[in-house]
Amino acid sequence: MAEATTSKWDSHLRMMLRGAVGGLFAGVIFGMFQMWYLADAGMPANTIIRMIATIVQPDEYFAAGTTSLPIGWAVHRRPPGDPVLQGGEEWRFVSPAR
């Protein structure tokens, strides 16, 4: 009995590349719809990143419009599995700003 040949998509590297490209594509589509929704609601497109920043900054900063975009991006793009930055919403319970 002959062994089955592997297809070109069986390579782990190719599967990771497909997943990365698919994730980027889905993220861009999600971001476009999110910005469209916020613009339609009369809000700035960066509102969602400012909301994410309130995970580590007080809610009053968001109400005053002084949340930090770099902090919002850093929280959003945290390294996966980082024991210090585990999760996202969990930060609300350990943040010194609270």
Residue 25: per-residue pLDDT: 92
Average pLDDT for residues 1-30, to the nearest whole number?
A: 77
Residue 89 domain-assigned (yes or no): yes
Boundaries of domain holding 78: 31-94
Residue 41 domain-assigned (yes or no): yes
Q: Return the ∠ at Cα 62 (arms to 52 and 58), rounded to 5°.
A: 80
Length of the chain: 98
Residue 70 domain-assigned (yes or no): yes
Residue 80 domain-assigned (yes or no): yes
The radius of gyration of the chain from alpha carbons, rounded to an integer in Å, stands at 19
Nearest to 54, CA basis, from 69, 44, 43: 69
Residue 5 domain-assigned (yes or no): no
Residue 98: per-residue pLDDT: 45
Residue 45 domain-assigned (yes or no): yes
Q: pTM of the prediction?
A: 0.53
Least confidently predicted of 13-17, 56-60, 86-90:
86-90
Tokens at residue 36, please?
A: 């469209």
- Number of folded domains that form the chain: 1
Residue 88 domain-assigned (yes or no): yes
DSSP 88: S
Nearest to 74, CA basis, from 84, 62, 65: 84
Contact indicator for 34, 48 with CB cutoff of 8 Å: yes
